[in-house]
């Protein structure tokens, strides 16, 4: 049969979610409320699927995100998600065809960048994606890890219930969006989906606990954590804490949340899955060796419109560069671009001037948010320097005070 590539229809939405769940090894058994939220999260216009004889055999979609870039501007960001190919249709070009069509679709919506979490890290560089946000897993023995250094904490921590959380957490999340590069905003459907998890719990871990940090009644951060009991009365055993979210927008909210998490009684092991690569917790601890850190690739970015994406952000140092961007997936999206930027803003236009630096779009995406240095990519053979000193200038411009961060799986 011929493979058809298109958006799904309203009538195909439940089949879409079943195929997505199957692609990640699960069964889609959502109740009516869950299904309503799923339909709102990814309506048909956000999808691009492969269909054979009315059966969906490949899926992809994109959340219409907004997130901050260096300098604080909020830009449209196509959050690529739900990418699967049925095992019955592997090695037939379905993924290539879906990704090309999905990225073209999102560019036509005037989204200058796309982002994704890669379930398999070998896949997405061929589509122009580069590792833009790196994270770390933390594992801490709380019996030995004490906070020695801390900024002033003018606010307070308090517990909140699930009912109150739906009202309070969006404000804390938005504060983090404004304070950090890379965190997507959440719409109402995303918060409804989040609260389903809060209210239903997570298997053996049970329902999560929620705390919020506030200053003068304003929510500036929160933590969602789960507890797995391992203590028995009269016996010395140790429980575990899974800090699923530690969302902070300033130094005080970060310190207050961590002070709480490291002092939960009867639970001696604490883990996180998504800490920023420049998290200040190691510098706060009395003994930093009690903190085990495992770095990993977090979010991959792809520039859909090079000129618009580069002009949207600011740059730490003033400078001018001509970049030759090689886009093997969509050659017309590449070309030569002249970037003039500084702390006050930037312009970026197509040009015929000689290139200072030549690089593939994946390498440009890797440095876009300031999470990596062009010099490192140059030493790895992923960048060509045509004008002496241009790589150093690029690093001076693209570097950021804080590393990008995205504590949201999508």
Closest CA to 261 of 250, 272, 251: 272
Residue 227, strand partner residues:
241
Given the residues 5, 28, 35, 410, the one annotated as active site: 410
Q: What pLDDT is stored for residue 238 in this prediction?
A: 77
Same domain (yes/no): 285, 148: yes
Give the confidence band of 205 by pLDDT, cuts at 50, 70, 90.
Answer: confident
Structural domain contains residue 409: no
Same domain (yes/no): 29, 147: no
In the block, tokens 């997130």 appear at 67
Same domain (yes/no): 166, 117: no
Comparing 256 with 230, which gets the higher pLDDT? 256
Structural domain contains residue 20: yes
Are the CB atoms for 121 and 71 separated by under 8 Å?
no
Residue 93 tokens, joined: 């070009």
Same domain (yes/no): 293, 156: yes
Same domain (yes/no): 179, 328: no
Give the confidence band of 233 by pLDDT, cuts at 50, 70, 90.
Answer: low
Q: pLDDT, tens digit, for every residue of 207-222? A: 999 999 999 999 999 9
Same domain (yes/no): 140, 121: no
Same domain (yes/no): 106, 175: no
Q: What pLDDT is stored for residue 266 in this prediction?
A: 86
Structural domain contains residue 270: yes
**DSSP summary character for residue 183:** P
Of 249, 270, 297, which residue is a domain's last?
297
Structural domain contains residue 404: no
Q: How large is the average pLDDT for residues 320-330?
A: 98
Of 104, 128, 152, which residue is a domain's last?
128
Structural domain contains residue 403: no
Q: How large is the average pLDDT for residues 337-346?
A: 98
- Report how far residue 221's alpha carbon sits from residue 170's, in angstroms, rounded to the nearest whole number: 10
Structural domain contains residue 408: no
Give the confidence band of 202 by pLDDT, cuts at 50, 70, 90.
Answer: confident
SS3 313: coil
Give the confidence band of 237 by pLDDT, cuts at 50, 70, 90.
Answer: low
Structural domain contains residue 110: yes
Cβ of 374: how many Cβ atoms within 10 Å? Answer: 26
Domain that holds residue 110: 3-128
Comparing 63 with 230, which gets the higher pLDDT? 63
Task: Please count the structural domains in the chain.
Answer: 3
Q: How large is the average pLDDT for residues 356-385?
A: 98
Supply the CATH number for residue 226's domain.
Answer: 3.40.630.30
Q: What is the mean pLDDT of the chain?
A: 96
Of 65, 93, 128, which residue is a domain's last?
128
Give the confidence band of 235 by pLDDT, cuts at 50, 70, 90.
Answer: low
What is the edge-to-edge ordering of all strands in the sheet holding 384-385? 345-350, 335-342, 319-326, 357-360, 384-385
Structural domain contains residue 407: no
pTM for the full predicted model: 0.95
Q: pLDDT, tens digit, for every residue of 151-191? A: 999 999 999 998 899 999 999 999 999 999 999 999 999 99
Give the confidence band of 197 by pLDDT, cuts at 50, 70, 90.
Answer: confident
Same domain (yes/no): 283, 358: no
**Stretch (H or E) spanning 214:** strand 209-215
Same domain (yes/no): 210, 234: yes
Given the residues 65, 124, 129, 194, the one annotated as active site: 124
124 is catalytic: yes
């Amino acid at each position: 049969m011929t493979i058809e590539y298109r958006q799904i229809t309203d009538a195909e939405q439940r089949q879409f979610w079943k195929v997505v769940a199957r692609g990640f090894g699960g069964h889609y058994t959502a109740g009516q409320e869950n299904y309503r939220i799923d339909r709102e999260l990814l309506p048909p216009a956000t999808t691009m699927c492969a269909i054979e004889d009315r059966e969906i055999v490949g899926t992809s979609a994109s959340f219409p995100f907004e997130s901050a870039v260096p300098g604080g501007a909020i830009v449209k960001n196509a959050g690529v998600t739900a990418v699967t190919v049925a095992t019955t249709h592997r090695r037939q070009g379905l993924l290539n065809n879906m990704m090309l069509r999905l990225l073209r679709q999102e560019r036509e919506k005037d989204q200058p960048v796309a982002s994704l979490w890669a379930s398999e890290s070998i896949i997405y560089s061929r589509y122009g994606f580069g590792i833009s946000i790196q994270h770390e897993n933390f594992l801490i023995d709380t019996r030995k890890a004490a906070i020695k250094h801390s900024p002033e904490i003018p606010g307070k921590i308090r517990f909140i219930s699930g009912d109150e959380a739906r009202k309070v957490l969006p404000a804390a999340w938005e504060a983090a969006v404004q304070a950090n590069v890379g965190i997507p905003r959440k719409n109402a459907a995303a918060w409804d989906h989040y609260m389903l998890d809060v209210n239903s719990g997570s298997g053996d871990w049970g329902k999560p606990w929620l705390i919020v940090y506030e200053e003068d009644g304003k929510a500036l951060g929160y933590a969602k954590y789960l507890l797995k009991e391992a203590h028995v009365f009269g016996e010395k055993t140790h429980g575990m804490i899974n800090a699923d979210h530690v969302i902070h927008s300033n130094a005080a909210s970060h310190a207050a949340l961590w002070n709480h998490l490291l002092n939960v009684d009867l639970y001696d092991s604490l883990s996180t899955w998504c800490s920023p690569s420049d998290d200040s917790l190691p510098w706060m601890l009395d003994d930093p060796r009690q903190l085990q850190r495992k770095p990993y690739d977090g979010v991959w970015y792809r520039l859909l419109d090079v000129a618009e994406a580069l002009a949207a952000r600011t740059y730490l140092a003033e400078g001018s560069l001509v970049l030759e961007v090689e886009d093997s997936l969509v050659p017309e999206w590449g070309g030569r671009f002249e970037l003039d930027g500084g702390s006050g803003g930037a312009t970026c236009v197509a040009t015929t001037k000689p290139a200072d630096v030549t690089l593939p779009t994946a390498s440009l995406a890797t440095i876009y948010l300031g999470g990596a240095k062009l010099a490192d990519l140059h030493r790895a053979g992923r960048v060509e320097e045509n004008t002496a000193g241009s790589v150093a200038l690029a690093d001076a411009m693209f570097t950021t005070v804080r590393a990008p961060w995205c504590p949201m799986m999508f």
